[in-house]
Amino acid sequence: MSETFKPSAVPYCPGPIQTGTGSRRNFLQTGLAGFATLSLPGILRLQAQGRAHASEGTGSSREKTAVIMVWQPGGCSHIETYDPKPNAGSDYSGPFGTIPTKVPGMQFCELMPRQAAIADKFTVLRSMRQAAGGHPAGSMQLLSGDPDTRDKPKPRLPDWMSVANYVRSQSGPRQNPLPAYVGINPPLEYNGPAYLGDAYSPFVVTGNPNLPNFNVPNIGLSDANEVRRLGRRSSLRQNLDTLERAFDQQRELAALDEFESQAMTLLTNPKTKEAFDLNREDPRVRDRYGRNAWGQQLLLARRLVEAGVEVLTTSLSGPLCGRVQNWDDHAVNHHVFDAMKFRADAYDQAVSALIEDIFERGLDKRVLVVVTGEFGRTPKINYAASTGAGDASAPAGTQQPGRDHWPRAFSNIWAGGGIEPGRFIGGTDKRGEDSIERICGPGDFLATIYHHLGIDSSTTLIRDFNGRPTPIGDHGKPIPELMR
Give tens-digit pLDDT for 34-80. 333 333 334 334 433 443 333 444 444 445 899 999 999 999 999 99
Q: Which long-range contacts (CB under 8 A, 24 or more apart) does 304-308 make?
A: 304/178, 304/182, 304/275, 304/276, 305/66, 305/68, 305/363, 305/367, 306/361, 306/363, 306/367, 307/176, 307/178, 307/271, 307/274, 307/275, 308/64, 308/176, 308/178
Q: What is the pLDDT of residue 318?
A: 98
Give tens-digit pLDDT for 319-330. 999 999 999 999
How many Å apart are CA 394 and CA 402, to the nearest integer? 12
Dihedral sign of CA atoms 100, 102, 104, 105 in order: negative
Taking alpha carbons only, the member of 27, 368, 50 closest to residue 204 is 27
φ, ψ (nearest 5 deg) of residue 144: -125, -15
Q: How confident is the model at residue 269 (pLDDT cuts 50, 70, 90)?
A: confident
Q: How confident is the model at residue 225 (pLDDT cuts 50, 70, 90)?
A: low
How many Å apart are CA 105 and CA 164, to the nearest integer? 36
Q: What is the pLDDT of residue 271?
A: 81
Q: What is the pLDDT of residue 2?
A: 36
**For all residues of the chain together, what is the average pLDDT?**
84
Buried b / exposed e across 49-72, counting CB within 10 Å, b at 16+?
A: ebbbbebeebbeebeebbbbbbbb
Half-sphere exposure for 63 (CA within 13 Å, toward CB): 18
Q: What is the pLDDT of residue 172?
A: 80
More confident residue, 88 or 256: 88
Q: Are 60 and 72 in contact (CB under 8 A)?
A: no
CB atoms within 10 A of CB 397: 10
Q: How confident is the model at residue 240 (pLDDT cuts 50, 70, 90)?
A: very low
Q: How confident is the model at residue 175 (pLDDT cuts 50, 70, 90)?
A: confident
For the whole model, what pTM was predicted? 0.85
Q: What is the pLDDT of residue 270?
A: 77
Taking alpha carbons only, the member of 419, 406, 422 closest to residue 478 is 419
Helix 40-49 vs helix 254-268: crossing angle, to nearest 10? 90
Q: Are 401 and 337 in contact (CB under 8 A)?
A: yes
Q: DSSP labels for 132-201?
A: --SHHHHHHHHHH-----S--SS-SS--HHHHHHHHHHTT---SSSS-SEEEES---SS---GGG-GGGS
φ, ψ (nearest 5 deg) of residue 206: -120, 165
Residues 6+ apart with CB under 8 A from 156: 140, 144, 146, 148, 194
How many Å apart are CA 49 and CA 425, to the nearest integer? 41
| Over residues 103-111, mean pLDDT | 97
Q: What is the pLDDT of residue 232?
A: 47
